[in-house]
Amino acid sequence: MLKSNNSKLIFHIDMNAFFCSVEELRNPSLRGKAFAVGREGTLKGVLSTASYEARKYGIHSAMPIIEAYHKLPTLIVVNGHYDEYKKYHNMFMSIIYRYTDKVEVASIDECYCDLTHWIEKKHPLVLAKEIQAQILTEVGLKCSIGIAPTLFLAKMASDMQKPLGVVVLRKRDVKEKLYPLSVKDIYGIGKKTYPILIENGIETIGDFMDKENETLVKSLVGENTYNYVTSHVLGNSSNVVDNDRYSDYQSISTSNTYDVFLESISDIINEARRMARSVYNRMVKGDYVFKTVTLTLRDHEFKTITRQKSFSEYKNELYDIYETIEDLIEEYYDSEKRYRLVGVGISNMVHTKDSFEYNLFNLDKFDDKKNLISKILKDINDSIGEDVISFYGDKKDK
């Protein structure tokens, strides 16, 4: 139990195989089967996620569908239902908000919570089991919970036991619990980086943290990555859950530069999907909708391409970002190149309440027609530059 007055009680709550779990609730016949969420009835595209049964065969998110079928010809692939995922996200989040309003959404299936005010009321393990049980009973979903004094350590802890795990990771536990783990388990170390570390004898987190290996590790991952990882592993990182991290914006984007180049299309799509989830959650938090999705790629020669797709109507679903980004990557990815930067963004945004493109021919969709007509006429008058039309069609006195 975290007793220090200076310690924070941070929970990282991570839904287990979220998309697949929701699909099982929609279709119970999928339970216990090796299946994945992707594009049903086609060999094109990549998987969003895979059930635990499918993962036993080496099938994972961002894997090309055709490659997944090679690993397991009997794999079941189902279409994603992103409106359902959003609904279940709201359901499990409503339970978390019963305990605290200090919540930072990390993606559609995970969040950080500051539960420090519970320290004197209930043991963290009891509290975590209570939250787990409520989500499982009321929503039907399993989750793992990591408990730590910082966000990074809480994230590391939640990944240590799945499904339905609860792990407490204090700073004094780091050497015992984290050091024996593989370097591939370090949050933030990419799929292209950890094999290089392992090939050079840096197999565990303990090896990474060993001062005798500092020069070697820095040469492999760069000084910035080395400093970031070592400070975070030791617990010298943020303990602030910022539910107002993203306040207001006209566009949302995120990108990442990689010390080790990305070469395969599956790695690029996997990184882009992670960014899409981050962008989507920032959009939802601000109650926005969008029309344009943007992909940015920079190759090993520092040549950057930016490609966009715009919709005729406003969109608000994660699926729309996912599918668009995948299509753009598949169209513009060059297998002869290595990529050092990937970026995902959305723009042409408005608040949800302002997203309906009204006109004089769709007024029947509105309850408050009088106010809306007044707004339309105001827009017309503004465009003309004079108040020439009144509500009842009478010309106004000048």
- The rounded distance, in Å, linking the Cα atoms of 353 and 65 is 38
Q: Is the peptide bond prior to 149 cis by the omega test (within 30 degrees of 0)?
A: no
Tell me the residue type at 77: V
Cα separation of the two ends of the chain: 74
**117 class by beta-carbon count within 10 Å (0-12 exposed, 13-18 middle, 19+ buried):** exposed
Question: Of 67-76, 263-272, 307-316, which one has max mean pLDDT?
Answer: 67-76
pLDDT 10s digits, 195-231: 999 999 999 999 999 999 999 999 999 888 899 999 9
User: How many Å apart are CA 48 and CA 115, to the nearest integer?
Assistant: 31
Q: Which residues contact 225 (CB under 8 A, 6 or more apart)?
A: 188, 189, 193, 259
Contact 328/254 with Cβ under 8 angstroms? no
Identify whether residues 19 and 131 lie together within a single domain: yes
Same domain, yes or no: 173 and 259? no
pLDDT at 398: 41
Residue 2 inside a domain? The answer is: yes
Residue 310: which CATH number? Answer: 3.30.1490.100
pLDDT in tens, 322-361: 989 999 998 899 988 989 899 999 988 888 766 654 444 4
| 192: DSSP letter | T
Domain boundary among 177, 194, 228: 177
* Residue pair 281/260 in contact by the 8 Å Cβ criterion: no
Contacts for 45 with CB less than 8 Å, ≥ 6 apart = 38, 39, 64, 65, 326, 330
Please check the confidence at residue 368 and state whether its pLDDT lies above 60. Answer: no
Question: Which residues, in sequence order, are bridge partners of residue 256?
Answer: 342
**Residue in 53, 110, 271, 323 annotated catalytic:** 110
Q: What is the pLDDT of residue 157?
A: 97
Range(s) of the domain holding residue 349: 252-353
CATH code of 103's domain: 3.30.70.270
- How many domains would you assign to the chain? 2
Q: Tally the residues of the chain.
A: 398
Give mean pLDDT, residues 364-388: 52
Q: Which of 240, 247, 200, 239 is nearest to 219 (CA)?
A: 200
CA separation, residue 179 to residues 84, 176, 353 (Å): 39, 6, 50
Summary count for the chain: helices (H), strands (E): 14, 13
Residues 17 and 147 in one domain: yes
Question: Strand pairing of 143-148 and 288-299?
Answer: unpaired
The number of angstroms, rounded, from the C-alpha of 64 to the middle of its chain's C-alpha atoms is 20
The last residue of one of the domains, among 177, 203, 223, is 177
For residue range 242-299, list pLDDT tens digits in order. Answer: 876 544 556 788 888 887 788 889 889 989 998 998 899 888 888 888 999 999 999 8
How far, in Å, CA of 74 to CA of 71, rounded? Answer: 9
3 state SS for 83-105: HHHHHHHHHHHHHHCCCCCCEEE
Does 155 lie in the same domain as 18?
yes
Question: Domain ends where: 177, 198, 214?
Answer: 177
Q: Are residues 170 and 55 in the same domain?
A: yes
Rounded Cα–Cα distance for residues 134 and 340 (Å): 43
Amino acid letter for position 24: E
- Whether 110 is catalytic is yes
Q: Which pLDDT belongs to residue 206? A: 97
**Residues 258, 173 within the same domain:** no
Determine, yes or no, domain membership for 8.
yes
Instruction: Report yes or no on 347 lying in a domain.
Output: yes
| Helix residue ranges per DSSP H, the chain | 18-26, 52-55, 65-71, 82-96, 124-138, 151-158, 174-177, 193-199, 205-209, 214-221, 223-233, 265-286, 318-332, 369-384
Count CB neighbours of 290 within 10 A.
Answer: 24
Q: How far is CA 160 from CA 72, 154, 184, 239, 385, in A?
A: 27, 10, 12, 20, 64
d(CA 135, CA 140): 7
User: Distance between CA atoms of 209 and 39, rounded to whole angstroms?
Assistant: 42
For residue range 166-200, what is the model confidence (pLDDT) as tens digits? 999 999 999 999 999 999 999 878 777 899 999 99
